[in-house]
A = this chain, B = another copy of it.
């Protein structure tokens, strides 16, 4: 294995159901090069996806060599973030519904193709570590990270170390029940936070209000009357333009997320909660009600101890964190 110096480069990979993002960073975190994003094209099959990841890593390496004036020997390894659940020790993606994978040996396939050692960790864990190493959660000792997109992922940093739990499942905050007999979640459970506050759940709630109440709103116009095209981004757009229905959907989203965050404050008593993903586009419209709900539901000393902040690394937190988790794992060996 190549030795790691502060100036060694690590390639980070953030594999999502929609996009593959890659980038290279020095081990000391001071420099980033070759950030690239390309569609995952899940339907092309697992082998093709692996080939595309490897090719994108090579492109990131080539960009970095050119921009930073370093040789290929400067690259120490590859950190991969992928949807869980994972078996980190064996480098497997155990189940990834969005990718259609089962017990898929992603880490070793990538490692062989690019000829570098690799590590594998959960994508939401990587995003949390990224925000903690280089973003909004810097300086935190006990950190909760929430990444809100197609689903709601989460990660926990305990005493300055990423916490994996007994079987690499820790941090699945999106799949905590906030309403016992509530909405059906994609995981099969009822009333999960994700079923209320993920991107698609926000769009669903907006659609329901528009259909049920036929309310006056800008939203149908923004999607040319086709409510199936309505997304969470549509809701944020309309809210920014002063649309009352959209604003209520955003407020309600803040309250749902606030209930979930309050649970984490009372269980885990973090000093930082970083909320990342598309919802941060809603800004104070969302974070205001979120904070109010947290204050309403969590114990005062837990509220006082925690700053609740939007992520600062949109699009790259996962890559940055994949680099850091690589370093942590390899430097512990």
Contact = CB atoms under 8 A, between A and B. Distances in A.
A175 B270 contact: no
A267 B266 contact: no
Given A180-B179, A262-B177, A263-B177, A166 B270 contact: yes
A302 B265 contact: no
A274 to B, nearest CB: 14
A268 B167 CA distance: 10
A222 interface: no
Interface stretch (A22-30, A130-138, A293-301): A293-301
Interface residues of A, number: 49
Interface in A150-182: 154, 156, 158-159, 163-173, 175-180, 182
A165 B85 contact: no
B264 A301 contact: no
Interface string A92-110: 0010000000000000000
A263 to B, nearest CB: 4
Contacts of A159: 158
Contacts of A269: 164-170
A305 B179 contact: no
The 9 closest A-B pairs by CB, nearest first: A165-B269, A167-B305, A166-B305, A170-B269, A172-B266, A166-B271, A176-B263, A169-B302, A169-B269
Interface of A: 85, 94, 141-142, 154, 156, 158-159, 163-173, 175-180, 182, 187, 189, 256, 259, 262-271, 296-299, 301-302, 304-306
